[in-house]
């Protein structure tokens, strides 16, 4: 009996083991510097999730993405929205790194000046084979100061939720529990916002600015291979802005 109790307790502990999702790096390139090609600020690691947000000015249509050797797997399909008034296209694409090293991403299909924001995430449990769980891209009606997307309902417990706000000024507010990783400080950058969650449910993306303007949002949820009940931990390791890296270590529970 004692042996059975020990085995049962061990199985319970294993079943409730924490799944860790880590923000490895993130960065941003503004529209004055950005071209159709950019590189992640630091080397990527094989198997990690790579998420890239973009704003393509003076161009609408369907963008396509390719990557260099460490990230030359299938990108996307991209999730985006075209703003007819601004004649711009904003959204995100993603892949899992197929190797380790410098990841260079190239966009084709849509012209115009480009803004980029990117993030790399690792997961101790591994990423699901079909990593994108839910997604949406929307434009706010009119020119509000705040816009909240439709709700996405996740299907597993351990996920990272990532959204980008295409705005013309700095964000002043986001959805509760989310962290602004890169914030717009020049016209029509992409601000990248994320959150690690430990339970499935409904989540929405909110972009708030100080003055009324056009707002576009693209929102994706990415799932791990586990549906366990542990609390994921997000650890910010590097921060690259305009291709410059700075150390920025922080541990945060989602």
**Tens-digit pLDDT profile for residues 13-71:** 334 445 699 999 999 987 666 688 999 999 999 999 999 999 888 767 788 899 999 99
Residue 150 lies inside a defined structural domain of this protein? yes
The pLDDT of residue 226 is 77
Between 88 and 130, the higher pLDDT residue: 130
Residue 157 lies inside a defined structural domain of this protein? yes
Q: H/E element holding 107?
A: strand 104-108
Query: Quick check: 7 pLDDT over 50?
Result: no
Strand order in the sheet with 206-208: 146-148, 206-208, 173-174
**How many structural domains comprise the chain?**
1
| pLDDT mean over 201-211 | 96
Which structural domain range is residue 133 located in?
20-253
Give the closest residue to 127 by CA, choosing from 97, 163, 103: 97
Residue 237 lies inside a defined structural domain of this protein? yes
| Confidence bin at 76 (pLDDT 50/70/90) | confident
pTM value is: 0.84
The pLDDT of residue 99 is 96
Residue 70 lies inside a defined structural domain of this protein? yes
Residue 5 lies inside a defined structural domain of this protein? no
The pLDDT of residue 36 is 87
The pLDDT of residue 30 is 79
Distance separating alpha carbons of residues 48 and 201, to the nearest angstrom: 24
Query: Quick check: 252 pLDDT over 70?
Result: no
Compute φ and ψ for 206, nearest 5 degrees. -115, 130
Q: Which of 72-86, 95-109, 178-192, 209-223 comes out lowest in average pLDDT? A: 178-192
List Cβ neighbours of 46 (8 Å cut-off, separation of 6 or more). 70, 97, 98, 99, 100
Residue 9 lies inside a defined structural domain of this protein? no
What percent of the chain shows pLDDT beyond 90? 61
- Could you tell me whether strands 21-29 and 233-241 are parallel, antiparallel, or unpaired per DSSP bridges? parallel
Residue 99 lies inside a defined structural domain of this protein? yes
Per the CB < 8 A criterion, the answer to whether 126 and 201 are in contact is no
| pLDDT mean over 189-211 | 95
Between 71 and 228, the higher pLDDT residue: 71
Query: Quick check: 188 pLDDT over 90?
Result: no
Residue 7 lies inside a defined structural domain of this protein? no
> In 3-state terms, what secondary structure has residue 182?
strand
């Amino acid at each position: 009996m004692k042996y059975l109790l020990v085995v049962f307790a061990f199985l319970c502990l294993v079943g409730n083991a924490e799944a860790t999702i880590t923000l490895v790096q993130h960065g941003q390139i503004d529209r004055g510097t950005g071209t159709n090609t950019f590189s992640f600020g630091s080397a990527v690691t094989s198997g990690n999730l790579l998420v890239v947000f973009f704003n393509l000015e003076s161009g609408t249509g369907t963008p396509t993405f390719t990557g260099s050797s460490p990230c030359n797997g299938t990108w996307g399909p991209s999730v985006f929205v075209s703003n007819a008034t601004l004649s711009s296209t904003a959204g995100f694409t993603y892949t899992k790194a197929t190797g380790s090293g410098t990841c260079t991403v190239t966009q084709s299909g849509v012209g115009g000046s480009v803004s980029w924001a990117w993030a790399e995430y690792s997961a101790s449990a591994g990423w699901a084979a079909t990593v994108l769980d839910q997604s949406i891209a929307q434009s706010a009606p009119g020119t509000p100061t705040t816009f909240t997307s439709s709700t996405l309902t996740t299907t597993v417990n351990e996920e990272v939720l990532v959204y980008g706000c295409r705005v013309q000024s700095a964000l002043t507010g986001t959805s509760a529990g989310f962290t602004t990783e890169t914030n717009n400080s020049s016209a029509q950058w992409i601000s990248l916002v994320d959150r690690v969650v430990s339970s499935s449910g409904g989540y929405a993306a909110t972009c708030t600015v100080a003055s009324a303007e056009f707002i576009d949002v693209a929102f994706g949820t990415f799932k791990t291979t586990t549906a366990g009940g542990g609390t994921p931990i997000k650890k910010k390791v590097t921060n690259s802005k305009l291709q410059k890296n700075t150390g920025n270590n922080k541990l945060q529970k989602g």
